[in-house]
Amino acid sequence: MRAAVYDRYGPPDVLRIDDVPVPAPAPGQVLVEVAATSVNLSDWEGLRGSPLYARIGGLRSPAHRILGSDIAGRVEQVGEGVTRFRPGDEVYGDNLALMGGFAEYAVAAERALAPKPAGLTFAEASTLPQAGAIALQGTVGAATGRRVLVNGAGGGSGSFAVQLAKRLGAHVTGVDNEHKLDFMRSLGADDVLDYRREDFTRREPYDLVLDLVAHRSVFAYRRALARGGRYRCVGGSVPALLRVLTIGWLAGRLTGRRLGVLVVRPGPTAFAPLADLCLAGEVAVHIDRRFGLDDVTEALTHVGEGRARGKVVVEIS
Ligand SMILES: NC(=O)c1ccc[n+]([C@@H]2O[C@H](COP(=O)([O-])OP(=O)(O)OC[C@H]3O[C@@H](n4cnc5c(N)ncnc54)[C@H](OP(=O)(O)O)[C@@H]3O)[C@@H](O)[C@H]2O)c1
């Protein structure tokens, strides 16, 4: 099968399209003929091996030769003990543990997959698993009368988080680069900030901050919170995440605020509710660009360099 493979961390040109054997499903696994795989920032991080958490499982060289975790496609074959799926079923899921989505076939654990709703295309379904789980869990607590800020709101998870927080009645501020301000407004953000010009931690205090790209000091984040407010980050620089886990936890407790790292629960129960909202027309999928398998390098660069508004999808077949 054709796949985008890499053997060392580095810039996008370490990726190449190669012919590799079709993987065989182990017990409890499903072989999926991949139709579409969406790009997450975690793919870009996994390509470069940076931040350091992207090297978990492969300190010196990548643990998986093929990136791509958010897959959608058709079941080709099932491993021993698989009961929920059979060949021909349309499925989607976040295959973060095994990756392999930038290829014609990928194996995934049965428990990572959900039946793809007929009302969503493969490309649409592929945008939901990882970004949807982050957005759903990151906006818990958003409600009418609450001020919510999403840092990195113009990207994949952010575009869902803004819509979810608005749907819950919150007043939403979106922060991203200057090219995404109109996009964030179109998602429903009440206020938008260009992070290169304005520091959100020096504006009004917020009740809930979801940070997709943490890099500031704990004291800046604490300053951004109203009393009783909550700051949660999911990604960013390792020093910033470690500071939030340690000093942030303590500084929050001492001042009546909560600061922490959101460890996102993966799996169908974590993302399928977003598919239901999309089918009901309450949340929209925004696909900025589609690429073919030959252009995975370009697709990753488009996301990694911050040009994507919403999600980017690689259509395999
Ligand atoms: N905690 C967990 O369990 C868990 C699980 C899965 C994934 N993750 C992490 O969650 C994050 C999800 O990101 P995603 O896929 O939604 O990323 P994305 O689509 O790339 O969106 C991130 C957005 O943030 C913007 N940005 C970059 N630097 C910024 C700054 N200083 N201030 C404000 N905005 C900034 C980016 O634009 P520009 O770069 O151009 O400016 C981009 O629009 C990743 O870091 C991933 O590793 C965490």
Atom 36 in ligand 1: residue holding the nearest Cα:
306
Contact 262, 232 (CB under 8 A): yes
- Which atom of ligand 1 is nearest to 45's Cα? 47
Q: How far apart are CA 115 and CA 122, in angstroms?
A: 11
Pocket of ligand 1 contains residue 17 by CB under 6 Å: no
Q: Which amino acid is at 123?
A: A
pLDDT digits (tens, 9 = 90+) for 119-145: 999 999 999 999 999 999 999 999 999
- Which atom of ligand 1 is nearest to 42's Cα? 47
- Which atom of ligand 1 is nearest to 235's Cα? 45
pLDDT digits (tens, 9 = 90+) for 24-68: 999 999 999 999 999 999 999 999 999 988 998 899 999 999 999
Compute the distance from residue 269 Cα to the ligand 1 centre, in Å: 22
Q: Could you say which residues of the chain have pLDDT below 50?
A: none
Helix or strand run (H / E) with residue 273: helix 268-279
Pocket of ligand 1 contains residue 134 by CB under 6 Å: yes
To test the pocket of ligand 1, the residue of 37, 38, 41 to mutate (highest count of ligand atoms within 8 Å of its CB) is 41
